[in-house]
Chain A
Amino acid sequence: MTYMGGIRIHEGKELSKDMPTTVLLPKGDLVFPLSQHIGTPAKPLVSKGDTVLVGQVIGEADGLVSSNIISSVSGTVKAIERRLMPTGKMEESIVITNDNQYNKIESYGQNRDYMNMSKEKIREAVKEAGIVGLGGAGFPTHVKLTPKNDSKIDYVIVNGAECEPYLTSDYRLMMEESEAIIEGLKIILRMFDNAKGIIAVEDDKPDAIEKLRVLAADESNIEVQALKTKYPQGGERQLVYVTTGRKMNSKKLPADVGCIVNNVATVAAIYNAVANSMPLTHRIVTISGDAAAEPQNFKVPLGMSFSEIIEAAGGFKVQPKKIIFGGPMMGNSMYTYEVPVTKTVNALLGFLKDDAAVEESACILCGRCYFRCPLNLLPMKLQLLGLNSEDEKFVELDGMECCGCGCCSYICPANRSLTQTIVQTKQRILEKRNVQHELYELHKDHAVNE
């Protein structure tokens, strides 16, 4: 089964897919932003001058939707200040000077009998370990694993699609830590009695599929599904649809249709946290793109500067025209790579030319954007409505449903900035709604006071 729309794009994965993951040790200071997840930023638990250990919680989840921040090195807290993120934002961050001792907290690495742990214990371990959606969204995983009704979940889907071009970090993980993925899925399945596990991988990674299938051969309720190689196959709404046939719109969560969706890296992190008491301190990142001297994959501690990773990768062949954190379809272009590795960044790509630096020309109504839209929207109309600030019409034509996958802009022969305008309009409307809501609240209070 497949969904309507989507695009087949030049993959670029061949550059780095066969490069085994190399572990890198940080040299300089490490930067841990307190907000690298969706939700409230974490509260710092340390202050300047404190000593910290590997695995120590340095930022504590604040409120329901938030996540712990864990130190990946031992050393001293140098400062708590605002630092630049791969997203281009400045975030309050804990800066730690590495003492190169890697002294760990006591519990670090202790094996636990995870197949006999209670649901609450598992959730607690996941929360403690600071795990968030590592595919890019950064939604706190313990929240995801706590749906309203556990018994209504009938699918636990592991997202190994990795549909963005050039990215190979999930692929390397599937090849190198496949056991952790299977065991991690088994841990999640323990929490949902009626659920079946599905590991979904695009069929351009046959060796990963094979490997997972062999490991899952004895697990009666785990299935490894090969998906058609098509962007955005790994999008949550698309993935849930192709694996279960259930459709979600933007207002629904996977749990509303009985599904829990987690990225392969998240699932492996759950295994490490629950079974080995190893909190989330590392992740795999891909360094690639046609400007990269030696495209490859690294396992790096969170907080390490990307400039050190680029240096370890042999730098760039030539000065790239554009650098992107994440994939080229939904990633974020930046003006510098002097930023730390955060939980959600899976790649740094360097490109010799900038495909997006082109002049827009007139829409010829060819309909390609509509045919490629995985949500069946009419991007060419939505863009015009967005440009003209016709917000009501925009909402009526379901512009708010846009998932920002970028297919329409990619395919547009007139180089129109469809995704860009639609996503911007969406944000503007959301902000306006919030403001109106606040105004309403203000007014209400005022009325009460009178």
Chain B
Amino acid sequence: MSDLYNVSAAPHIRSPIKTNSIMRDVILALIPAGLFGIFNFGLRALLVILATVLSCVVTEYVYCRLMKKPVNPWDYSDIVTGLLLAFNLPSGIPIWMAVLGGVFAILIVKMLFGGLGQNFMNPALAARVFLFISFPARMSSFALDKVISPTVTDFLRDGVLVLDGVSGATPLGQLKAGETVDLLKLFIGNIGGTIGETSALALLIGAAYLFYRKVLTPIIPFIYILSFAIFALIFGGHGFDMNYILGHILSGGLILGAFFMATDYVTSPITPKGQLIFGAFLGIMTGIFRIIGTGVEGVSFAILLGNLLVPLIDNVTRPKTFGKERVKGVK
């Protein structure tokens, strides 16, 4: 019989938006911040980015091969994880450490829990915190000066940290010490920090693209930043000091975290109500870590804690079915 048609259950058409096109959009949205990081911190930053991306991609591939799992059409989610991890690392980090972070993110946080869609924490952030706890000194030295003339071995082993010798106070440190900060500089990003977090401008351009492409909805990032701002207003001890509040919003990893890490589909709530609770929780936790706690940065910890609450939030914010009066509670 020559008339062989496909037969399947309805619907028979599919939207052109696929997982990999979403991931591709996220990658495109991260490019401005990545380029700015390279401009700000020199080619060393590019090397770190390449190291984390490659280690993520290779880890996922090797894992699938070893575990005899089908190597699916490439969804690019490993590239996103690699990029986000690099953005959360200082440019002076030794390359082996960056690679270790990439392997940790993919192998431990993502694949061992079942791969894409199953991880309960943001892999890039979990790896960042893992590195932060393991190598606190390395992870909190934020070099701004560019590489001078390292030998190849120094370069790979130690990074540029020893060579440029500038660790410089970060804006968050300055804020904590009660100093004022240059907001324009903060907004543009010509400051110390991790590779991808410094330029609010570049990050916001990327985020705007994701909103335009409807990859992201604005609830989580805006509620996160708003609730943090309110927290800073009440508990910051500076009252209505725009320099203090905006300084806090623009520095550290808040913009990167709010727009690109907290909004990770897998580790954030599904319903708008849940996203509202999640965003507010992140804002308050970041405020506690940054302003009340002894450390200077709190975004990573706040988001990871928030990730752990997502199943709970999803359960209590179950949507009401159309035409049904009340949804029964969970057993």
Q: A-side interface residues toward B, CB under 8 Å?
A: 3-4, 7, 9-10, 88, 165, 237, 241, 247-250, 252, 319-324, 328-336, 351, 354-359, 361-367, 370, 374-378, 396-398, 401, 404, 406, 409-415, 417, 419-420, 423-424
Contact = CB atoms under 8 A, between A and B. Distances in A.
B174 interface: no
A323 B331 CA distance: 44
4 closest residue pairs by CB, A with B: A406-B11, A249-B323, A375-B322, A355-B14
Max chain A Cβ within 10 angstroms of own Cβ: one of B11, B77, B319, B328:
B11
Given A356-B13, A364-B117, A365-B265, A333 B319 contact: no
Interface string B259-290: 00000011000110000000000000000000
A375 B323 contact: yes
B324 interface: yes
Nearest to A399: B321
B322 A410 contact: no
Contacts of B118: 362
B6 A415 contact: no
Max chain A Cβ within 10 angstroms of own Cβ: one of B2, B6, B13, B116:
B13
B159 to A, nearest CB: 34
Tier of interface size on chain B? 35 or more
Given A365-B117, A378-B270, A328 B5 contact: no
B14 A358 contact: yes
B11 A328 contact: yes
Contacts of A248: 323
- The A interface is mostly helix, strand or loop, or mixed, namely loop
Max chain A Cβ within 10 angstroms of own Cβ: one of B8, B10, B77, B321:
B10
A398 B10 contact: no
Nearest to A420: B9
Interface string B1-26: 01111111111111101110110000
B309 to A, nearest CB: 15
Interface of B: 2-15, 17-19, 21-22, 72-73, 75, 77, 115-118, 265-266, 270-271, 318-324, 327-328, 331
A398 B324 CA distance: 9
Max chain B Cβ within 10 angstroms of own Cβ: one of A241, A252, A374, A398:
A398
A247 B8 CA distance: 32
B5 A321 contact: yes
A376 B22 CA distance: 23
B12 A351 contact: yes
B13 A378 contact: no
B19 A401 contact: no
A419 B12 CA distance: 11
A64 to B, nearest CB: 26
A324 to B, nearest CB: 6
Contact of B4 (A335, A364, A377, A420): A335
Contacts of A335: 3-5, 7
